[in-house]
Amino acid sequence: MKILHTSDWHIGHTLYTKKRYDEHDKFLKWLKETIKSRGIDALIVSGDVFDTGAPGGQAQRIYYDFLTSLLGTCCRTVVVVAGNHDSPAMLEAPSGVLEKLHIHTIGLPGEMERHVIPLPDATGDVRAVCCAVPYLRKNEMVRLEDDAQSTDERIVAATAQFYHNVTDAALNYQKELGKPLPIIATGHLFAQGAVRTEGDGVRELYVGTLGQVGADIFPEEIAYVALGHIHGVQRVGGQERIRYSGSPLPMSFSELGREKCVLEVSLDEGHSLEALPVPVFQRMAAVRGTREEILHQLKELAVDDVWVEVTYTGEEACPHLSADVAQAVRGGQAEVLIIRNTAAASAILESANESESLESISVQDVFLRCIGKDLYSDEDTAVLVDCFNEIIREMEEADTCA
């Protein structure tokens, strides 16, 4: 009996200006072939299927095309739970039809028996049971009356109680079936000690450390906990049985160099686990340094099909950096998605008065600080300001007409 654990697809994600439909399509085609070649019996997706609660038509088409493509393969069961990015109602809307295809979507917490999903093998014999737990929203689970408890304690206690209740429901199912079965649980949450990377796009589920749970909330009867939300593959609390699979695509340039994978869990002969590396479907590169260092690196990358993030770390102002970067990649396949200028950012911060807030500064003033003082001639500055004001005017008119 083999189970494949994946999460955080974020279909519809945009990296700066780039939609990533092609990458997601290639990933899901690779995932289907992996399922077939590895003889996977069940697929578990632990939340954040989509990048937004209102995914567009193309994102939904990629998702449903993948699900239906698994029909007739060795994968007999698919379990999908909602993450904090997903709309629970949208994910569950087609559940009546999908369940007839052995595709189970759980968006919201409900009766415990509804969360218990049998996982049969190729012969149809039930070999495991899945406790399908979605992202648990605070207002859906914190109903404790004990005012002596802090909000943090109430969230953790309610989460732990939910996992104990659903585990008890799975144990009752085993009794009815008349045989012991391995229990697999899902979760979309922030576990204590989980490691994030800067700019990974992971939204805070609660403020600060509020609601972070320890490994001890998962009952010992659970053989494997398939987690989502954190984008890097890792174990929780040093326990092999509690795992984040991570996102299959890097969500930001800060994740470059980190291997992406899906996790294969074998329930035969001692519950083994194997990480299966996900191929790179779009090459990305982060270029940092002075103007000269940046242009040298871009010269080497220009002919490649690669998305580039440029970060200027020089101390001196470099007003024509954008033009220099554009010239460096002109005629090649490399695309520069963003240029970060730390010198300009530092100047803006230094010029800010402690009493100022973003609300108290006009958008025109913010723009003037961004382009810096004495970086452009008076004539060029006037042209830039005119262009900026035209953009602001068009945006305001668009808002008025909306």
Residue spans of the domains in the chain: they are 2-277, 283-401
Fold of 2-277: Purple Acid Phosphatase; chain A, domain 2 (3.60.21)
Residue 317: the pLDDT is: 78
User: Strand pairing of 261-266 and 2-6?
Assistant: antiparallel
For the domain made up of 283-401, give the CATH fold: Double Stranded RNA Binding Domain (3.30.160)
Residue 44 has pLDDT above 90, yes or no: yes
Does residue 195 register a pLDDT over 50?
A: yes
Q: Give the mean pLDDT of 260-276.
A: 91
User: Band of the pLDDT at 269, cuts 50, 70, 90?
Assistant: confident
Look at residue 173 in the predicted model and tell me its pLDDT: 97
Kindly indicate the confidence band of residue 161, based on its pLDDT and cuts at 50, 70 and 90. very high
| Rounded average pLDDT over 267-296 | 93
pTM higher than 0.85: no
Answer yes or no: is pLDDT of 400 > 50.
Answer: no
